[in-house]
Amino acid sequence: MTGKDPALSAQPPLPKGTQILDVAVSDLERRCRAAVNAGARVQFAYAWFPDGTGDTAELRYVIHAAAGHVPEVWRCRPGELRPPSLAAIAPLVSWYEREITDLCGVAFEDQPQPEPLVLLPGARAARPPLQPGIAPPLAYTPEPYSLPELAGPAHNDVQLLPFGPIRADVFESAQFTFFYIGEGILHYQPHLFFKYRGMEKRFEGVTPELGIVLAERVSAVGSVAHALAYSHALEAAAGCEVPPRAEWLRVLLAELERLYNHLHYFGHLCHTTTLKVGEAEGKYLEELAKQLNAEATGSRFLRSLVCPGGLRREPWLTEVARLLKRIEDELGRYTHMLESTTTHLDRLITTGALGKRLAFDLGATGPIERGSGVDRDPRRDQPYGVYGELPLRVAVREGCDAHARQQVRIAEALNSIELIRAVLEGLPAGPIRTPCRPAAHSEGLGWAESPRGSVYYAVHVDAAGKLARVKIKSPSFSNWRVFPYTVHDTNMMDYAINEASFGLTVAGCAR
C-alpha cells in the first residue's frame, strides 16, 4: 500500500492483504473526506466490544478504493469522546451510524438523522443489545412515528397513506408512508425492521463451524452469497487456502443462485406491469432453475454445501448441463420478448430514476448501481475464487431507470449460464475441503457478490475460538437506503413497478 498517512499507525496486515489502520477520533472527518475525494467508498461501518465486557466500544470503517485494491479497515476507539458523524461526507454512512447508536449505544456528533433506525418508536433497551452477554428484553410503549411536518399554501390538500406493515400477497412486513396529492407522491418514508431477528447477536458465542448455518439463513434467496462471504471472512482469519476444485464449484453454486433470482425478478416485474404472459413464463423459468438446484444439491435454495475451507460435499452434476440447456433455450426468447413488448417497456422507461452520482454516494449496490452507470462488481474488482479465470462480463447500463435495471439483470442471467457451463467444462479434480481453524483473537473480512449486490462479513474470534462478533453488510440494507430517493416526486401508479425493479428484500435489510 502506498501513500500512507503518517498520522495513522499501521497494524500487522490481516490475511489476504487487508490492513487495519488506527484513526484518531479527531482525524476521522479529514481522513474520510480525503478518501471520498480520491474516489473511494465507505462500504460499511460497525461497532463491537473487544474487551468482552461491553465497557469500551470500538468503531470500524471498511473502505474500498479503486478496482483491484484490497479493502482498508479503519479502527477508531472513541473512549469518552463522541465521534463525529461522517454522513455529510459519505451519505451512505448515515444508516450505519444510526444502527450503531441503536444496537451498541455509541452516539455521533451532528448526526443528520438522529431518530432510531432498528428500534421501533417506543422501544427502550436497558443496555445496548449488542453488548456482550445475553441481551435484555426491550421495554416497549407504542409511540407514533416521527413524520415530516407539512407547510406551504397547499398543505391542506396533502393526503397521508400509511401502507402496511401487513401487506397483501406474500410480501414481508414493512410500512410505507406516502404524502401525496392526487396521484403525485410528494414524500415517501419506509419503516422497516418490524421483524428484526438480531442475526448478528445470534452469532455471539457460536463456533465458526456452526456459524455457517446462521449465515445461510440471514436471507433465504441469498443463501450461497452469505455463506460465501462468511466463509471468506473465516478463511482470511485462519489463513487457509481453499482447494481449486471447491473454488470452481463455489462459482457454479453462486451463479445458479444468481440465475434463479433474476428469473424470479423478471416474473415479478412483469406482474407489476400487468404483462401476465411474461409473469407466467418468468415464474415458470424460475421453477425450472430451482428444480435444477434441487437436482444438483438437494436444496432448492442451494444450502448446506458451502462451508469454511471449501464445500461439505460434492454436488451432483450429472443432469446440470441438460437442465441448464433447457433453461437457456427458453431464456433467450423470453428476454427478447421482454425487450420488445412496448406495453411493458413503456412502464419501465424513466420510472424510478436513480442518477449515477446519487447511486454512488448513497451506497447503491449490485444491479441497482450498475443500472445507474456505476461500473463496480466485486467479482472483478476485488476478485475472489476463480472468477478471474472465467468469462465474467460485468453488465453496466446508463439508463438509470427501471428499464436499465432489467437490462442489467438480463445480461447477468445470460452470463450466469455462460459461467456455469465454463465451470462444468473446466472443473479440475481434487479435494473439496481443507481445515479452517481461525486462531484465538483473530479476525477476517470477506465478501461476495449476491444477485442483489455486495455482501460483506466481518468476523472476530474470541480467546476460546468462538465468534465474538459478526457484522453483516447486506445488499438490501444498502439499496433500501437509496430507494426512497427514486420515489419522491413520482406517482402512485408507478410505485409498485419501481419497488419491483429494485428487487429488495426486507429480511436481508433487517437481519
pLDDT tens, position by position, 430-444: 999 999 999 999 999
* 15 — pLDDT class (breaks 50, 70, 90): very low
Q: Which sequence spans correspond to the domains of the chain? A: 9-135, 199-510
Give 458's strand partners.
445, 471
Per-residue confidence (pLDDT) for residue 4, from 0 to 100: 36
Cell numbers at residue 79, please? 473512549
Question: CA 204, CA 128: separation in Å to the nearest integer?
Answer: 14
Whether the per-residue pLDDT at 3 is higher than 70: the answer is no
Whether the per-residue pLDDT at 290 is higher than 60: the answer is yes
- Residue 387 is given by DSSP the state G
Q: Which H, E and C letters describe 84-148, residue by residue?
A: ECCCCCCCCHHHHHHHHHHHHCCCCECCCCCCCCCCCCCEECCCCCCCCCCCCCCEECCCCCCCC
For 474-493, write each residue's pLDDT tens digit: 999 999 999 999 999 999 99
Alpha carbons within 13 angstroms on the beta-carbon side of residue 225 total 30
pLDDT average, residue stretch 253-276: 97
Sign of the Cα torsion 67, 71, 72, 76 reads positive
pLDDT average, residue stretch 277-303: 97
Whether the per-residue pLDDT at 505 is higher than 80: the answer is yes
* 52 — pLDDT class (breaks 50, 70, 90): confident
Whether the per-residue pLDDT at 422 is higher than 90: the answer is yes
Range in 188-192, 317-321, 426-430 the model is least confident about: 188-192
Whether the per-residue pLDDT at 11 is higher than 70: the answer is no
User: What are the two backbone dihedrals, phi and then psi, of residue 185, each rounded to the nearest 5 degrees?
Assistant: -90, 115
Per-residue confidence (pLDDT) for residue 68, from 0 to 100: 60
Question: CA 122, CA 116: separation in Å to the nearest integer?
Answer: 10
pLDDT average, residue stretch 255-280: 97
In terms of Cβ atoms closer than 10 Å to its own Cβ (0-12, 13-18, 19+), residue 471 is buried
Instruction: Please determine whether the domains at 9-135 and 199-510 fall in the same fold group of CATH.
Output: no
User: What are the two backbone dihedrals, phi and then psi, of residue 222, each rounded to the nearest 5 degrees?
Assistant: -125, 30
Question: CA 508, CA 511: separation in Å to the nearest integer?
Answer: 6
Nearest partner of 400 among 365, 362, 373, 375, judged by Cα: 373
Q: Strands 72-76 and 19-22: what pairing?
A: parallel
Cell numbers at residue 210, please? 456452526
For 448-474, write each residue's pLDDT tens digit: 999 999 999 999 999 999 999 999 999
pTM of the model: 0.94
Q: Is residue 109 a contact partner of residue 54, using CB atoms and an 8 Å limit?
A: no
* 12 — pLDDT class (breaks 50, 70, 90): very low
Q: Is residue 70 a contact partner of residue 382, using CB atoms and an 8 Å limit?
A: yes
* 317 — pLDDT class (breaks 50, 70, 90): very high
* 2 — pLDDT class (breaks 50, 70, 90): very low
Per the omega criterion (within 30 degrees of 0), is the bond before 244 cis? no
pLDDT average, residue stretch 253-269: 97
Q: Of all helices (H) and strands (E), which one includes residue 184?
A: strand 184-191
Range in 60-74, 75-89, 160-174 the model is least confident about: 160-174
- Residue 433 is given by DSSP the state B
* 246 — pLDDT class (breaks 50, 70, 90): very high
Single-letter residue type at 498: N
Topology (CATH) of 9-135? Beta Polymerase; domain 2 (3.30.460)
CATH number for the region 199-510 comes to 1.10.645.10
Nearest partner of 203 among 226, 174, 222, judged by Cα: 226
Whether the per-residue pLDDT at 308 is higher than 50: the answer is yes
Exposure string for 229-238, b = 16+ CB within 10 A, e = fewer: bbbbbbbbbb
For 96-106, write each residue's pLDDT tens digit: 999 999 999 99
Question: CA 271, CA 278: separation in Å to the nearest integer?
Answer: 8
Question: CA 377, CA 379: separation in Å to the nearest integer?
Answer: 5
